[in-house]
């Protein structure tokens, strides 16, 4: 085999490995950017209080948070991004969230601690937004904030119990 085909195969292999590992690299980058990892709440809730918090955040059935990873998070975002019209959005978004039991609970918990991504500086961004042919582009700090938000949500889903998540939401 000559060196050119070997080089092409090596570059394709590197490209494939990079694409496969990219979501995890972004997850780890986001964790490294957080000032500290959130500490779980130590108090426990009664069964009635757990059920109440679970229902309050649109939980269905038995209270259980299914841990999700970077690929699962991308799957949910893809589901939401593929919603055709704004009329159907709330119902379909809820359906996207239900793919992973407790996803909405974890997202609500992260919103309580970090705020919604991109909401803090919305007015400043509206006046300073970068637009190319009418399309608004996110700045690096906005993208960094989204990655940190996503990473914290993934970390909580994987490292906290359902009881700890519900107790933190009850605060």
pLDDT of 125 above 50: no
104 and 58 Cβ atoms separated by less than 8 Å: yes
Which of residues 128 and 89 earns the better pLDDT score?
Answer: 89
Q: Once rounded to an integer, what is the mean pLDDT over residues 65-80?
A: 87
Ordered alpha helix ranges (H), the chain: 3-33, 47-56, 70-81, 89-97, 103-114, 122-128, 140-159, 162-170
Task: Render pLDDT for 15-25 as a digit per residue (tens, 0 to 9).
Answer: 999 888 999 99
CA dihedral 98, 103, 107, 108 (to 10 degrees): 70
Task: Render pLDDT for 145-158 as a digit per residue (tens, 0 to 9).
Answer: 888 999 999 999 99
Predicted confidence at residue 92, as pLDDT, reads: 65
pLDDT of 127 above 70: no
pLDDT of 129 above 80: no
Task: Render pLDDT for 93-111 as a digit per residue (tens, 0 to 9).
Answer: 767 777 788 888 888 888 8
Q: Once rounded to an integer, what is the mean pLDDT over residues 1-7?
A: 79
Would you kindly state where each structural domain of the chain is located, as residue ranges? 3-170
Predicted confidence at residue 78, as pLDDT, reads: 82
What is the torsional sign of CA 17, 68, 58, 34?
negative
Q: Once rounded to an integer, what is the mean pLDDT over residues 101-123?
A: 75
What is the torsional sign of CA 11, 70, 114, 121?
positive
Task: Render pLDDT for 30-58 as a digit per residue (tens, 0 to 9).
Answer: 999 998 998 998 888 999 999 999 988 88
């Amino acid at each position: 085999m000559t060196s050119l085909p070997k080089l092409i195969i090596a570059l394709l292999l590197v490209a494939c490995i990079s694409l496969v590992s990219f979501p995890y690299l972004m997850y780890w980058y986001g964790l490294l950017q957080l000032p500290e990892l959130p500490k779980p709440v130590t108090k426990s809730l009664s069964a009635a209080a757990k059920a109440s918090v679970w229902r309050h955040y649109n939980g269905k059935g038995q209270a259980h948070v299914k841990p999700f990873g970077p690929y699962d998070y991308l799957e949910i975002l893809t589901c939401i991004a593929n919603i055709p019209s704004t009329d159907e959005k709330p119902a379909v978004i809820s359906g996207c969230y239900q793919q992973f039991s407790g996803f909405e609970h974890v997202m609500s918990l992260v919103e309580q601690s970090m705020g919604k991504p991109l909401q803090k500086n919305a007015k400043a961004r509206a006046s300073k937004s970068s637009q190319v042919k009418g399309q608004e582009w996110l700045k690096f700090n906005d993208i960094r904030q989204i990655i940190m938000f996503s990473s914290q949500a993934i970390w909580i889903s994987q490292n906290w119990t359902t009881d700890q998540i519900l107790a933190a939401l009850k605060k």
